[in-house]
Amino acid sequence: MKLVSFKGVPVVRGNVDSLPRKVLTFLEHDVELCQPAFIHICDGSDEENRLMLDILIAEGIVQPLPKYENCVLAHTDPRDVARVESKTFISTESQREAIPVPKPGVKGQLGNWMSPEDLDVAIKKRFPGCMKGRTLYLLAYCMGPMGSPLSKFGIQATDSAYVVACMRIMTRMGMQVLDAMGDSDFVRCLHSVGCPLPLKEPLRRDWPCNPDLTLIAHKTATNEVMSFGSGYGGNSLLGKKCFSLRIGSAIARREGWLAEHMLIVGVTNPEGVKRYLVAAFPSQCGKTNLAMLTASLPGYKVECVGDDIAWMRFDEKGQLRAINPENGFFGVCPGTNNKTNPIAMETIQRNTVFTNVAKTSDGGVFWEGLEEDLPKGVSITSWLGEENWQPGSERPAAHPNSRFCVPACQCPTIDPNWEDPAGVPIDAIIFGGRRPVGVPLVYESLNWQHGVFVGATVSSEATTAAEYSGHEVMHDPFSSRPFLSYNAGNYIGHWLEMEKPGCKMPKIFHVNWFRRDSKGKFLWPGFGDNIRVLDWILRRCSDEKEDIAQMSPVGFIPKKGSINMEGLENPVDWNELFDLPKDFWMTEVDNIEKYLTDQINEDLPPEMLKEIQDLRQRFSQY
Ligand code: OXD
Ligand code: MN
C-alpha cells in the first residue's frame, strides 16, 4: 500500500485532508520544526488504543497486568517521575504580567517567567529535529463535556505513544472532536520526549526522556504550550495542568470565569436534598479521597463530578456552575486502599494505566498501603525492578508519586450529571490544607472578600510521606501556586471581581482534617467521617436558617455540638478541634502579612491588607 505523505512525511494513520484548516497549519508548523519520520492522526478508537499499547509493550515501556482487565504498568526513567516546577515557565511580554515583582532581596516563589526572546532561543535549542525517527501523533481533544459552552478544544502533537494512551483516558479525544471543532480556536500543545533517533545515549529503563533539557513553557497570550524532555504526568499530558489550569486560568481571566485546582462533588442528605460543592487542597492532600468519599453517616450519598480541576462561571440567573474539564483521574497510588478509598480501588480494576508502582508475581500491582490486600505467597518486584522486595526495605515498593490513570466513567459513584453541558450548580467553595496546629476543623468566611483572603492564604505542611514531621508549612495561594499563569496579585483581584450584583455568591469555607494533639495524633478521623463536616457546611448553605454557627476571630465556627458526631468510632475532642490559640494566630497573621507583601508587593490588592488588619484586630481583642 502506498502511503499518503504530508510535507514529505508518510501519514501512517488518519486523513490529513480532512483536518480543519487551522489544525493543518498547526501540523505543518510542527512537522517542519520537529521532522518526524511518520505522522499518525489519532481517531481515539479502541483499535487504535490497542495498537498504542502493543507498541508500548514491544518497546518495553509498559507491561500487561493479567490480573486485571485491560490494565498496563509503565516504569519511567527514575529521573522522570514528577512535575518539575523549576523547569515550568510562563512567557509573556512583560515579567509583571506573569509573576509579581517581590520586595527587594526577596526570592519570588510565585512562578517562573521567561521572555519571548529567551523562549525562542530555548525552543530553537530543543525542538528542531527532535522527533527524527519517531512518529508524530496528532491528538484533537476537548476539555469538558462535548457540546458544552464551557468546554474548550485542544490539539496536542506528541512523539509519545504513552501520552496518546493516557490522553485518551484523561480527555475526550479523537475523531468526534475533530468533527465538532470545525474552525473553532484551540489551545496549541507541542510535546516531545526529546530523544530523536538514533539515540545519542542509551535509554534508561526503555523510557525516552531528556532531563537535562526539560522545559514546560506556556505562552498565555496565544494559548500555546511547548513541553520538552519529560514524558510523565502533568509535564506531558498537556490537557491537565498546562491547559486546564495555566492556560485555562488566563483564558478565564479574559472571559470572566474561574479555572481552579478543585474537586467537584454532589452531596445528597437523608431528606434527598442534593447540593454541589467544590474544594481546593494542595497536591496530595486528599482531593481524590474526598471526591470519592463513602459517607460514614447513614442516609448520605456523595457523588463525584471531578477530583482535580473545576471550570466555573455564573449563568444568566447568577448561579455559579462548574464543569470538570477532565475525562479521567490521574491519582496518586500510595496510600490508596480499601479503607482510605474503596471507590478508587473499584474504579482501577479495568482499563487503567499504572505508572511507577510495584508489580506482584500474580500479575497485579502493589504500593505502600496495600499490605493488607496482598494475597498470600505472592512476591513483589519494586518499581525500580528490585525482585522479591520486602516490606520495610530501604527503598519504597512504589514511587511516592506513582499514579493510576483511569476513565472517570468507571467510578461507581460518578455523578449522573457529571457531563451536564450546563455544569452543576455550586453552593459552597472549600479551601484547606494540612495544618498540624492552630487551624480549626472548619470555619466559614464572613463574606466573599474575606473568603478570597482565606483562599489567597492557604498554607499546607510540605509532605511527601504520611508521617508527622511537624516541618515547614508552605504558602499555596488557592492551592494553585504551581499552576499560576499570571500575576498572583491579579489572580486575587480576579477572584474579588467575581462578586457582582445579580450573582448568588457561594459561601466560602476552610477545613483542616490534619490537626494533631500534643502527642502528634490526628484529632479528626478524616476520610468517610468528613461527611460530618460537609453536612455542617451544606446546612450553612441551606435556606432554612439553623442556629449552628457562632462568630469567632477566624470567621463563623460551628456551635458546640452542631456537627453530627453520632456513631463516631472514637470520641473526638471538640474543644481541641476548635481551639483558636491567640499566640499561634498572632504569629500566623504576621506570617501571612509578610508572605503576601514580600511576594506580591505592589500588586497585592488593598482589600487583602484590610483583611490582614481586620484579622489581627479580631484576635487582639480575643
Ligand atoms: C496532580 C497534582 O497531579 O496536583 O493533580 O500534582
Ligand atoms: Mn492536582
289-346 pLDDT, tens digit each: 999 999 999 999 999 999 999 999 999 999 999 999 999 999 999 999 999 999 999 9
Atom of ligand 1 nearest to the CA of 332: 3
Nine cell digits for residue 510 = 476552610
Q: Report whether pLDDT(468) > 60.
A: no
Res 1: pLDDT? 60
Q: Which are the catalytic amino acids?
A: 285
The whole-angstrom separation of Cα 418 and Cα 430 is 19
102-124 pLDDT, tens per residue? Answer: 999 999 999 999 999 999 999 99
- The DSSP code sequence of 440-484 is -SEEE-SSHHHHHHHHHT-EEE--SSSS-----EEE-GGG-GGG-
To test the pocket of ligand 1, the residue of 236, 308, 402, 476 to mutate (highest count of ligand atoms within 8 Å of its CB) is 308
Helix axes 606-620, 448-456, angle to 10 degrees: 90
**Contact in structure between 39 and 6 (CB atoms under 8 Å):** yes
pLDDT for 545 equals: 86
Of the chain, the percentage scoring pLDDT greater than 90 comes to 95
Query: Tell me, what amino acid is at 59?
Result: E
Cβ-based neighbour number of residue 574 at 10 Å = 15
Coil, strand or helix: which one is 173? strand
| Yes or no: domain 330-410 corresponds to CATH 3.30.930.10 | no
Is the bond leading into 36 cis (omega within 30 degrees of zero)? no
Average pLDDT over residues 34-52: 98
Query: Residue 283: CB within 6 Å of ligand 1?
Result: yes
DSSP state of 245: I
Quickly count: other Cβ atoms within 10 Å of residue 421's Cβ.
13
Q: 283 CA to middle of ligand 1, Å?
A: 5
Phi, psi of 197 (to 5 degrees): -100, 145
Cα gap 207→425, rounded to integer Å: 43
Among residues 37, 25, 12, the alpha carbon closest in space to that of 188 is found at: 25
Contacts of 520 (CB under 8 A, 6+ apart): 468, 470
- For residues 274 and 414, what is the distance between their CA atoms, to the nearest angstrom? 14
The pLDDT of residue 463 is 62
Tell me the per-residue pLDDT of 168-194, one tens digit each, with 9 for 90 and over. 999 999 999 999 998 899 999 999 999
Nearest CA to ligand 1 atom 1: 283
Enumerate the CATH 3.40.449.10 domain ranges in the chain, comma separated: 9-42+87-255
What average pLDDT does range 447-460 have in this prediction?
A: 98
* CB-based contact 174:168 (threshold 8 Å): yes
Q: Three cell numbers at 20?
A: 480543519
Ligand 1 atom with the shortest distance to the CA of 403:
3
CATH number assigned to the domain with residue range 9-42+87-255, chosen from the 4 options 3.30.470.20, 2.30.30.30, 3.20.20.70, 3.40.449.10: 3.40.449.10
Contact of 351 with 71, CB cutoff 8 Å: yes
User: What confidence category does residue 465 fall into, taking pLDDT thresholds of 50, 70 and 90?
Assistant: very low
Q: H-helix or E-strand containing 619?
A: helix 606-620
Q: Which three cell numbers stand for residue 148?
A: 458544552
CA of 252: how far to CAs of 73, 312, 562, 588, in Å? 36, 9, 38, 31
Is residue 464 scored above 60 in pLDDT? no
pLDDT band at 615 (very low <50, low <70, confident <90, very high): very high
Indicate the DSSP class of residue 414.
B
- Is the model's pLDDT at 467 over the cut of 60? no
Q: What is the pLDDT of residues 472-507, one digit of tens each?
A: 899 999 999 999 999 999 999 999 999 999 999 999
Q: Are 294 and 342 in contact, with CB atoms under 8 Å apart? A: yes
Residue nearest (by alpha carbon) to ligand 1 atom 6: 283
Q: Which runs of E-coded beta strand occur in 48-182? A: 62-64, 72-74, 88-91, 113-114, 135-143, 152-158, 172-173
pLDDT band at 2 (very low <50, low <70, confident <90, very high): low
Question: Has this prediction a pTM greater than 0.85?
Answer: yes
Please tell me the distance from the alpha carbon of residue 618 to that of residue 600, in angstroms, as a whole number: 24
Question: Where does residue 30 rank: exposed (0-12), middle (13-18), buried (19+ CB within 10 A)?
Answer: buried
Q: CA–CA separation, 261 vs 482, rounded Å? A: 10
Query: H or E segment at 56?
Result: helix 46-58
Expressed in angstroms, the distance from the first to the final Cα of the chain is: 82
Beta strands in 33-96 (DSSP E): 38-41, 62-64, 72-74, 88-91
Residues of the chain with CATH 3.90.228.20: 259-324+418-580
143-152 confidence digits (pLDDT tens)? 999 999 999 9
Check residue 158 and give its pLDDT. Answer: 99
326 lines ligand 1 (CB under 6 A): no
- Environment of ion ligand 2 (residues, CB < 5 A): 283, 308
- Of 322 and 463, more confident: 322
Q: Which CATH class is domain 259-324+418-580?
A: alpha beta
Q: So what's the pLDDT on residue 469?
A: 45
Residue 246 predicted with pLDDT over 90 = yes
Q: Is the CB of 476 under 6 A from ligand 1?
A: no
In eight-state DSSP terms, residue 18 is: G
Residue that the C-alpha cell 492557604 belongs to: 458
Closest CA to 100 of 601, 605, 606: 601
Q: DSSP label at 435?
A: -
Q: What is the pLDDT of residue 283?
A: 85
Binding site membership of 288 for ligand 1 (Cβ less than 6 Å): no
Q: Compute the average pLDDT of residues 73-88.
A: 95
pLDDT, the chain, mean = 96
Give percent of the chain with pLDDT exceeding 70: 98
Q: Where in the chain is the domain with CATH 2.170.8.10?
A: 330-410
Written as one letter, the residue type at 163 is V
Distance from the CA of 283 to the center of ligand 2, in angstroms? 5
525-568 pLDDT tens trace: 999 999 999 999 999 999 988 999 999 999 999 999 999 999 99
Q: How far apart are CA 108 and CA 128, in angstroms?
A: 32
Query: What is the number of the ligand 1 atom nearest to the C-alpha of 83?
Result: 6
